[in-house]
Every structure is written in C-alpha cells, then in structure tokens.
Copies of this chain bind each other. A is one copy, B any other.
Amino acid sequence: MFDRLINPGSIAVIGASHNPQKIGYVVLKNLVSHGYRGEVYPVNPKGGEILGYKVYANVEDIPPVDLSVITLPAELTVKVFEDVAKKSKFIIPIAGGFGETGKEGKEREKKILEIAKKYNARIIGPNTVGIYIPSTGVNTALVVPERSRFPGDGDIAFITQSGALGLLTMDSVAMYNVGFSAFINLGNRIDVNENELLEFFGSDERSKVVIMYIESFRDGREFMRIAREVTRKKPIVVLKAGRTKRGGRAASLHTGALGGSDAVADGAFKQCGVIRAYDEVELVDYARALAYGKPIHGDRVAVVTSAGGVGVVTTDYIESQERGIGMKMAELSEETKRRIKEEVVPFASVENPVDMTAQASDEDYDGVLEALNSDPNVDAILVYALFQTPLISERLVDIITRWHREGDKPIVVGTIGSEFAMRMLARFEENKVPAYPSIERAVKALRVLRDRGEILRRLGE
C-alpha cells in the first residue's frame, strides 16, 4: 500500500529553490546526497536548473509521480494542491500553519484533504519533517548536516508523531551504526495515520520491528486490532507520550493530541502484545534487542564478566523487583561449573555471575559461553565485553557474535568505556548483536526479550 511512498520511482519537489538557505533547496539536495536514484522533478515558476536538475515552471508540465514534496508555506501549499494532487500518489506538505495553529489552519487542512480524496492521492502530514528511507535514499527531513547524522539502512521501522523527537533519536544512535528500514513523521496526520502504517510495516519484510512515538492514537480500537495481528509476526514498541495529566496537556499544545488515561493505555498495550518504552533511549534500545535478539523463555539469566563489581551491580538489577527487572540469576548446573573451572578458567569464580577477572582472554570467553550454552538451567546470557584488560582483543566481538548466531541461548552484551568501547558497540551493531553501553541498559534489554517470549507464548496458547 505504501510501497510507492517508501520506494518511489519519481519525486516532484514543489517549491524547489535556487537559494541554498531555503528548504526547497535543502530537500532537493537531501535527495541527491542520500543517493535517491529515481526521477526528480523540481518545480519552480522561475525554471532554470538546480543542482543539475531541469526545473519545471508548472506542475502541469511534469509527468505523474509517485511522491510530491511541497516545500511551500501553508497558504501557497493550498493554492498549488489541486495541481499537485492530479499528478501524485503521495503528497508530503512540509509547512506548518495548518491545524496546529487554529481555525484558519484547520480550514486549510479540510481543503487539501478534500482535494486529495478527489484525486486519490494520500497525504503525509502536513506540518511534518516527512520521511527518510535509507535504503532508497528518500529524505525530506531538514536538519543541519554538519551538526547531525542520519542513520543507515536497517531493521527498524519508525513511525512518529513528533518529527523533531524522531530525528533527534535517529541522530543519537547513528554513531553506533543503528539502522532503520523507514522513518515516517505523521505530522498533523490528516490522512495517513499510524494504524495504516503499522499494518504496512507489519507485512514489510525489511522491517523486523516497528517502533512508534505517539502522543494520541487516531483510533485506539483499530490500533489494538492491528497491533494484535502485527505482534504475531514482529514486535511493536510504543513510546506513548502525554501519559501524565500535565504531559497530556503539553501534548495537546504540541500536536493537538487528546490522550486518555495511562492505566487504560497500559492495559491495552499489554493485551495486544505491545511493549512500552518511556523515553527515546529505551525506544531504540528495545527495538535493537527485539530486532536482533532471541525471545527469552524463562527468567534464569547467566552473567559473564571480567569485572567483579559489574557482576554484583548486574545481579542486583536482574533480581530486584523495585529497581530492576525481577528476573533471576540462574543456578548453574554442576557440570557447567566443573567445565568452566577445570577446562576454561581455573582462576575464575564459577558461581553466577561468572567472574573471569582481569586475567580473562578471548578464548576464556569462548569456553565459558560454550559451557553456558549447554546448561539447561540457563534461559539467557548477559555477557560483558570489557576491552580494557590485556588479554582481551577485538576478536571478542567475533566470538560473542558467533555464539549469538549459532548458540541456542538468547545473548545480550554489555560494554563500558569511551571511544574504543563505542567502536566495538558499532561493530556489534553491524553484526546485529544487541549490545549496550551500561549495566542498566543491558539488563533492561533482557527484560524486553523476556516480555517478547511471554507475548509469543500467550499468542501460541
């Protein structure tokens, strides 16, 4: 349904500009610089050429296109809208000045929606940063390139009501190589809404998980119906903002959202197998766990570390109900303890956490992971890849990756450090291993995989 939006064969930029300061220029430039390979039709009454593209003076002059991006102010957007709708399958009116500003803006929305319906065109927005699709190079979002980053292609489909929060979130994880299959900003959401998109990405093979930032649902019942279906195929993570009374008020000023009770939302999410995140960090952390990791069936976790203190804090977080995830430290089998002690690391503590101390080598990690992988008392493994000690090398990334891919047990990785650790995080990410830069974030990824295991179990009943 949205194939031609995600992968358009042709794009018109209505209001394309010769002036590098104008968004009509930047949008065009973004298309070029992110490698979009389809046809591009800049439209501007002045004609001429921009960035090597022939500029059309009138929308009438261009052939039909899959997508039109309107970079004009609200009033002009309305003015050209009928001409654009005649030519386009999808239209992204970027400008604000619509429903979010009051009565006049609402009138504008009504007008463009009527026109779109008449010509069977679909609107994303208005008042939106639009879409960013790394795999096809379609990018209508405006940020200052020197001060922000766009992520590469990946497994995460991101539907967001807030464009800025979405772009900031993608920016913050781009440096770790986190990739996205699609990013779509609903904006004022007068036409295309989160439910249709959720359904679409539910069947999109390139998206392994769908994440959403939502301040209000267009149709909660419909969302639940679709979520229930999608969650059988892939996980959904929702950051529902405006969950407090005052937050709801802020949301209504932001996107005009009217939220309901958060307890009701929470119950509904649980019922239909949606996993909740509470901020922008959790949203992507959980997405990565769910996209790359195996669901955890059971609650017994084995922890591997070379730093004793990290093992102790992790144990607290795993076991605590109040400040932690309320799972359990596995009681390792006698056979596992024997193997680790006799065959791998005689100097280590073979209770759980398995503390290999600063003497640990890459091979020791390999041996311990092998032993834990065949322990029937272990449901999941949290392994700390700490690169600060002398016998550990970058090869540890490959060793853990192999156990993640070939072993039976779900694996989550934690690492702590500066630039080097972050480079290793990016390598884990390339290998699609869920890895996190702090104890708490690694442990919370375990919980999410356990939740996913629970959801799948319930669905199977």
Contacts and interface: CB of A to CB of B under 8 A. Distances in A.
Given A162-B307, A164-B307, A241-B309, A148 B387 contact: yes
A41 to B, nearest CB: 26
A221 interface: no
Contact of A246 (B243, B310, B329): B329
B165 A313 contact: yes
A417 B244 contact: no
Contacts of A245: 319
A388 B167 contact: yes
B387 A418 contact: no
Contacts of A454: none
A167 to B, nearest CB: 6
A250 interface: yes
Interface string A389-406: 110000000000000000
Interface string A28-47: 00000000000000000000
Nearest to A150: B418
Interface stretch (A64-72, A365-373, A436-444): A436-444
B171 A417 contact: yes
A261 interface: no
Contacts of A312: 162, 215, 241-242, 247, 250-251, 254
A402 to B, nearest CB: 21
Given A312-B242, A316-B247, A440 B164 contact: no
Interface string A259-297: 000000000000000000011110000000000000000
A213 B307 CA distance: 13
A370 B312 CA distance: 46
Number of copies: 2
A281 to B, nearest CB: 5
Interface string A148-172: 1100000000001110111111011
A260 to B, nearest CB: 14
Nearest to A168: B416
B246 A319 contact: yes
A250 B171 contact: no
A172 B421 contact: yes
A211 to B, nearest CB: 13
Contacts of A197: none
Interface stretch (A3-11, A85-93, A112-120, A348-356): A348-356
B349 A253 contact: yes
A78 interface: no
B418 A149 contact: yes
Contacts of A239: 313
A187 to B, nearest CB: 11
B310 A165 contact: yes
A311 interface: yes
A168 to B, nearest CB: 4
A143 B280 CA distance: 33
A437 B239 CA distance: 18
Contact of A416 (B172, B250, B387, B416): B172
Contacts of A215: 309, 312
Contacts of A162: 307-310, 312
Interface string A125-157: 000000000000000001110111100000000
Nearest to A393: B147
Contact of A308 (B164, B309, B388): B164
A201 interface: no
A439 to B, nearest CB: 5
A284 B120 CA distance: 56
Contacts of A389: 143-144
Contacts of A203: none
A306 B164 contact: yes
Interface of A: 96, 142-144, 146-149, 160-162, 164-169, 171-175, 213, 215, 239, 241-247, 249-251, 253-255, 278-281, 306-313, 315-320, 323-324, 328-329, 349, 351, 353, 355, 357-358, 386-390, 416-421, 437-440
Shortest 3 CB-CB contacts between residues of A and residues of B: A162-B309, A165-B309, A164-B307
Given A144-B390, A241-B312, A279-B439, 18 more contacts: A142-B358, A144-B389, A147-B388, A147-B417, A164-B307, A164-B308, A164-B386, A164-B388, A168-B388, A172-B438, A215-B312, A243-B316, A246-B328, A246-B329, A247-B316, A254-B309, A278-B317, A279-B317
